[in-house]
Amino acid sequence: MSEKEKPQSLLNNDEREMTKPAMDFRFLSALVRTAFSAEQSLMSWMRTSLSLFTFGFSIAQFFNFLEEQGDTSLSVGPRRLGLVLIFVGILALGLALVEHVQRLRRMKRQGLPKISQYFLPVYSAVLLLAIGCAALIGIFFKWSL
């Protein structure tokens, strides 16, 4: 059996690297486009989560304000709804963040260039997640500013 007819399993690492075709430009540009698309999806989830945080916090605070102004005690339903909306926002953003990081790691193994691996949206999502957790804890314990 000649060197050219050797199966890939019998080649050593150096020989395998030499027989690998060069990375196709179209494949590389597709990876970069996919990375930007994943980044855009993460930012969309951030926007959705922020809306859920805001809506839940507003509902809870509005009914808290009404309770403080009047002598009557209101139902705990609106407060629970606010907590649930904030929790759903936290859960959605957390899952989107995990999926985004896993997707970037897979693309990095496929050859995604370092220039395409921006982490600003990831850091922003983590910060937004911390703000959501703070809002959830604040409403749960009825802390006010």
Query: Per-residue confidence of the chain (145 residues) as pLDDT tens digits?
Result: 555 555 555 556 555 555 455 568 888 888 888 888 999 999 999 999 999 999 999 998 888 888 888 766 777 888 899 999 999 999 999 999 999 999 988 988 888 877 656 788 899 999 999 999 999 998 888 776 5
| DSSP conformation letters of 83-95 | HHHHHHHHHHHHH
The per-residue pLDDT for 16 is: 52
Per-residue pLDDT, 17: 52
pLDDT of residue 27: 85
DSSP 10: G
Q: Is the pTM of this model over 0.85?
A: no
The span from the CA of 100 to the CA of 94, in Å, is 10
Residue with tokens 């959605």: 92
Identify the H or E element spanning 18: helix 13-19
Q: Tell me how far apart the alpha carbons of residues 5 and 8 are, in angstroms, rounded to a whole number.
A: 9
Residue 120 has, within 13 A of its CA and on its CB side, a CA count of 5
- What is the pLDDT, as a whole number, of residue 81? 92
Enter the tokens of residue 20.
């690998």
Instruction: Output the pLDDT for position 72.
Output: 67
